[in-house]
């Protein structure tokens, strides 16, 4: 009998309020854990959308919170991305910039791996922002990361990385079984390319690709609340043969109403978020969780949890039927001169 591993994406509408984001994250992890999930994947900028310099002050605390969440709920947790002021070796990032770091924790709360985003987004997009250049804020990473887990090797990517097939292929060559891609695709680029890119990278690498996306409108400047950034969402799992894999999708706001016990903002139901309130700043206006459901407002939507099963045996058969690595004859070597 084939052994399946249940994964879950927590699709978020993160804002600048870190505590409200933690509440949404913990709610999503809780829903996933209660349904037997082994690994939970969060999007890029899960803990703070915008105000990256401000959020970076809490990198170590949020890393510790993520470790505690993985341990408390008994799951592997891919903590999306966090803005980090120092490199993996502990040296400060130059010129006041940050690293966009994706962290993977095991169910014991140990940090298995840190991947710093290599490809930084630079593009002109037909939206209210227009010009994007992550290089103004972030320093690119320079190391491919593969993490061991009980269900296979996890190759780590972030958002714009999925436009570059060489990265996915190299991770497969290093032994990857699964590729994670926490993302915050703009609405316009997501509509045009998101599904196609996830599918292409799955076919390139013959790995399941997990695209965890931010969704909806994000107010990054509260002095100009009408000027929002819109993200595409449409989080999905793509199998190694290019097929969309979906077993279930749960909207947290609806789930809170229909389940036997309500989900509320208190220490009994969201204990980790409750404790985080003691060390996080308290903005004047914060979106709270309703007493019987998660409020969905124009500034923060409730999370959705998307489930899929990973079938390692079926993936191995796909690899045997089409032996890409055995057929590959062209090796691309980067010229750094």
Contact 231, 187 (CB under 8 A): yes
Length of the chain: 337
- Tell me, yes or no, if 159 is annotated catalytic: yes
Contact 65, 26 (CB under 8 A): no
Choose, from 26, 159, 207, 236, the residue flagged as catalytic.
Answer: 159
Choose, from 11, 26, 44, 134, the residue flagged as catalytic.
Answer: 44
Q: What residues have CB less than 8 Å from 60, skipping those under 6 apart?
A: none
As a three-state string, the secondary structure of the chain is CCCEEEEEEEEECCCCCHHHHHHHHHHHHHHHHHCCCCEEECCCCCCCCCCHHHHHCCHHHHHHHHHHHHHHHCCEEECCCEEECECCCCCECHHHCEEEEEEEECCCCCEEEEEECCCCCEEECCCCCCEEEHHHCECCCCCCCEEEECCEEEEECCHHHHHCHHHHHHHHHCCCCEEEEEECCEHHHHHHHHHHHHHHHHHHHCCEEEEEEEEEEECCCCCCCCCCEEEECCCEEECCCCCEECCEEEEHHHHHHHCCCCCCCCCCCCHHHHHHCCCCCCCCCCCCCCCCCCCCCCCCCCCEEEEEEEEHHHHHHHHHHCCHHHHCCCCCCCCCC
Token pair in block for residue 291: 């007493």
Choose, from 6, 30, 97, 117, the residue flagged as catalytic.
Answer: 117
- Tell me, yes or no, if 227 is annotated catalytic: no
- Tell me, yes or no, if 44 is annotated catalytic: yes
Active site residues: 44, 117, 159
């Amino acid at each position: 009998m084939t052994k399946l591993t249940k994964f879950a994406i927590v699709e978020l509408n993160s804002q600048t309020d870190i505590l409200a984001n933690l509440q949404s994250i913990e709610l999503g992890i809780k829903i996933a854990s209660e349904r037997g999930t082994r690994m939970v994947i969060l999007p890029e900028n899960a803990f703070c959308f915008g105000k990256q310099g401000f959020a970076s002050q809490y990198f170590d605390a949020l890393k510790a919170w993520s470790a505690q969440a993985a341990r408390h709920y008994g799951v592997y947790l891919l903590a999306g991305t966090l803005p980090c002021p120092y490199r993996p070796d502990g040296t400060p990032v130059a010129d006041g910039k940050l690293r966009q770091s994706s962290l993977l924790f095991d169910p014991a709360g140990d940090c298995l791996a840190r991947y710093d985003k290599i490809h930084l987004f630079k593009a002109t997009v037909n939206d209210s922002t227009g010009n994007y250049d992550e290089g103004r804020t972030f320093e690119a990473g320079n190391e491919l990361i593969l993490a061991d887990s009980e269900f296979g090797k996890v190759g780590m990517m972030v958002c714009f990385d999925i436009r570059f097939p060489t990265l996915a292929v190299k991770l497969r060559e290093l032994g990857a079984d699964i590729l994670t891609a926490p993302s915050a695709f703009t609405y316009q680029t997501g509509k045009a390319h998101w599904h196609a890119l996830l599918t292409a990278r799955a076919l390139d690498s013959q790995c399941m690709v997990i695209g965890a996306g931010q969704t909806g409108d994000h107010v990054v400047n509260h002095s100009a609340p009408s000027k929002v950034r819109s993200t595409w969402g449409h989080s999905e799992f793509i199998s190694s043969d290019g097929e969309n894999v979906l077993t279930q999708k749960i909207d947290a706001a609806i789930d809170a109403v229909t389940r036997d016990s309500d989900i509320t903002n208190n220490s009994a139901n969201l204990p980790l978020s409750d404790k985080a309130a003691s060390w996080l700043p308290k903005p004047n206006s914060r979106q709270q969780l309703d007493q019987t459901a998660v409020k969905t407002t124009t500034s923060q939507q409730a999370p959705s949890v998307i489930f899929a099963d990973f079938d390692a045996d079926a993936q191995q058969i796909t690899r045997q039927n089409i032996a890409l690595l055995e057929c590959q004859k062209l090796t691309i070597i980067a010229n750094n001169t």
